[in-house]
Amino acid sequence: MMLTRALLGAERVDSRSVGNENGHLTVRIEHVFQSKNTLYIHYSITNLSNQPYRITDPVVTQAVAPQATVSLLAIPRTQLDKHLLHKVGKLNERPISPVRSEFSKEDVKPGEQVQGVIAIREQVATPTIFHLTFGPQRSHKVQAVMVF
Protein backbone atom coordinates (compact mmCIF):
# COMPACT_ATOMS: atom_id res chain seq x y z
CA MET A 1 0.00 0.00 0.00
CA MET A 2 2.80 2.46 0.87
CA LEU A 3 4.58 1.78 -2.42
CA THR A 4 1.37 2.44 -4.34
CA ARG A 5 0.81 5.73 -2.49
CA ALA A 6 4.40 6.75 -3.15
CA LEU A 7 4.25 6.01 -6.87
CA LEU A 8 0.87 7.65 -7.35
CA GLY A 9 1.52 10.56 -5.00
CA ALA A 10 5.00 11.55 -6.14
CA GLU A 11 5.13 15.09 -7.47
CA ARG A 12 7.41 16.07 -10.34
CA VAL A 13 10.00 18.74 -9.60
CA ASP A 14 10.48 21.36 -12.32
CA SER A 15 14.17 21.18 -13.24
CA ARG A 16 13.89 22.54 -16.79
CA SER A 17 16.10 25.53 -16.02
CA VAL A 18 19.01 23.31 -14.98
CA GLY A 19 21.12 22.86 -18.08
CA ASN A 20 23.43 20.01 -19.01
CA GLU A 21 27.05 21.17 -19.17
CA ASN A 22 29.48 19.12 -21.21
CA GLY A 23 32.44 18.07 -19.10
CA HIS A 24 30.45 18.14 -15.86
CA LEU A 25 27.90 16.19 -13.84
CA THR A 26 24.26 17.22 -13.78
CA VAL A 27 22.10 16.58 -10.73
CA ARG A 28 18.36 16.77 -11.28
CA ILE A 29 15.77 16.46 -8.58
CA GLU A 30 13.07 14.47 -10.34
CA HIS A 31 10.24 13.85 -7.84
CA VAL A 32 9.28 14.40 -4.21
CA PHE A 33 6.84 12.48 -2.08
CA GLN A 34 5.78 13.29 1.47
CA SER A 35 4.27 10.60 3.66
CA LYS A 36 2.98 11.23 7.19
CA ASN A 37 6.47 11.58 8.63
CA THR A 38 9.02 11.26 5.80
CA LEU A 39 9.99 13.29 2.75
CA TYR A 40 11.42 11.27 -0.14
CA ILE A 41 13.55 13.02 -2.76
CA HIS A 42 14.22 11.18 -6.03
CA TYR A 43 17.18 12.52 -8.01
CA SER A 44 19.31 11.61 -11.01
CA ILE A 45 22.98 12.24 -11.73
CA THR A 46 24.16 12.34 -15.35
CA ASN A 47 27.86 12.14 -16.09
CA LEU A 48 28.68 14.37 -19.08
CA SER A 49 32.39 14.35 -18.33
CA ASN A 50 35.06 12.05 -19.71
CA GLN A 51 35.93 10.69 -16.25
CA PRO A 52 34.05 8.16 -14.08
CA TYR A 53 32.41 9.52 -10.94
CA ARG A 54 31.79 7.71 -7.65
CA ILE A 55 28.56 8.72 -5.93
CA THR A 56 28.58 9.25 -2.19
CA ASP A 57 25.64 9.88 0.11
CA PRO A 58 24.76 13.55 -0.22
CA VAL A 59 25.10 16.07 2.56
CA VAL A 60 21.60 17.49 2.98
CA THR A 61 20.72 20.86 4.43
CA GLN A 62 17.43 22.60 4.95
CA ALA A 63 17.58 26.35 4.38
CA VAL A 64 15.76 29.63 4.63
CA ALA A 65 16.47 32.67 2.48
CA PRO A 66 15.80 35.77 4.57
CA GLN A 67 16.86 38.21 1.80
CA ALA A 68 15.14 36.49 -1.16
CA THR A 69 14.18 38.80 -4.02
CA VAL A 70 11.83 36.16 -5.43
CA SER A 71 8.83 34.67 -3.65
CA LEU A 72 9.43 31.04 -2.74
CA LEU A 73 5.65 30.57 -2.64
CA ALA A 74 5.65 31.24 -6.40
CA ILE A 75 8.16 28.46 -7.19
CA PRO A 76 7.21 25.33 -5.23
CA ARG A 77 8.64 21.99 -6.41
CA THR A 78 11.31 23.82 -8.43
CA GLN A 79 15.00 23.07 -8.73
CA LEU A 80 17.01 26.26 -8.70
CA ASP A 81 19.61 26.98 -11.36
CA LYS A 82 22.51 29.40 -10.72
CA HIS A 83 20.49 32.42 -11.88
CA LEU A 84 17.45 31.70 -9.68
CA LEU A 85 19.68 30.73 -6.76
CA HIS A 86 21.33 34.16 -7.03
CA LYS A 87 17.87 35.79 -6.81
CA VAL A 88 17.04 33.73 -3.73
CA GLY A 89 20.19 35.11 -2.11
CA LYS A 90 22.21 33.93 0.85
CA LEU A 91 20.92 30.75 2.46
CA ASN A 92 20.89 30.13 6.19
CA GLU A 93 21.33 26.36 6.26
CA ARG A 94 21.02 23.68 8.91
CA PRO A 95 22.22 20.12 8.37
CA ILE A 96 19.73 17.29 8.18
CA SER A 97 20.56 13.61 8.59
CA PRO A 98 18.66 11.52 6.05
CA VAL A 99 17.38 8.24 7.47
CA ARG A 100 18.05 6.51 4.18
CA SER A 101 20.07 7.14 1.04
CA GLU A 102 20.17 4.75 -1.89
CA PHE A 103 21.34 4.92 -5.49
CA SER A 104 21.09 2.47 -8.33
CA LYS A 105 24.82 2.34 -8.99
CA GLU A 106 27.86 3.70 -7.15
CA ASP A 107 30.15 4.32 -10.12
CA VAL A 108 28.86 6.46 -12.99
CA LYS A 109 30.76 6.08 -16.24
CA PRO A 110 30.93 8.91 -18.78
CA GLY A 111 27.57 9.21 -20.54
CA GLU A 112 25.67 7.24 -17.89
CA GLN A 113 22.82 8.32 -15.64
CA VAL A 114 22.14 7.01 -12.13
CA GLN A 115 18.99 7.33 -10.02
CA GLY A 116 18.91 7.82 -6.26
CA VAL A 117 16.53 8.46 -3.38
CA ILE A 118 17.02 10.05 0.01
CA ALA A 119 14.52 9.91 2.86
CA ILE A 120 14.25 12.68 5.42
CA ARG A 121 12.30 11.78 8.55
CA GLU A 122 10.30 14.89 9.29
CA GLN A 123 7.14 16.64 8.24
CA VAL A 124 8.16 19.55 6.04
CA ALA A 125 6.25 22.80 5.75
CA THR A 126 6.32 24.64 2.45
CA PRO A 127 8.09 26.58 1.19
CA THR A 128 11.37 25.06 2.31
CA ILE A 129 14.69 24.95 0.51
CA PHE A 130 16.75 21.75 0.37
CA HIS A 131 20.39 21.66 -0.71
CA LEU A 132 21.95 18.32 -1.71
CA THR A 133 25.75 18.27 -1.99
CA PHE A 134 27.58 15.23 -3.33
CA GLY A 135 31.32 14.60 -3.46
CA PRO A 136 33.08 17.04 -5.83
CA GLN A 137 34.07 16.30 -9.39
CA ARG A 138 37.61 17.64 -9.51
CA SER A 139 37.13 21.32 -8.59
CA HIS A 140 33.40 21.47 -9.47
CA LYS A 141 30.60 21.21 -6.95
CA VAL A 142 28.09 18.44 -7.53
CA GLN A 143 24.88 19.77 -6.02
CA ALA A 144 21.21 20.54 -6.40
CA VAL A 145 19.00 23.08 -4.65
CA MET A 146 15.22 22.88 -4.69
CA VAL A 147 12.22 24.64 -3.20
CA PHE A 148 9.73 22.23 -1.68
pLDDT in tens, 38-58: 999 999 999 999 999 999 999
Residues in the chain: 148
Give the bridge partners for 25, in sequence order: 47
Residue 1 is predicted with a pLDDT of 58
Specify the CATH architecture of the domain 2-147.
Sandwich (2.60)
- Contacts for 69 with CB less than 8 Å, ≥ 6 apart: 87, 88, 89
pTM of the model: 0.92
pLDDT in tens, 90-142: 999 999 999 999 999 999 999 999 999 999 998 888 799 999 999 998 888 99
User: CA-CA distances (angstroms) from residue 73 to 11, 69, 127?
Assistant: 16, 12, 6
SS3 state at 43: strand
DSSP 87-121: HH---EEEEE--SEEEES-SEE-TT-EEEEEEEE-
Q: Is the dihedral of CA 110, 99, 79, 34 positive or negative?
A: positive
What are residue 2's phi and psi, to 5 degrees? Answer: -65, -40
Domain edges within the chain: 2-147
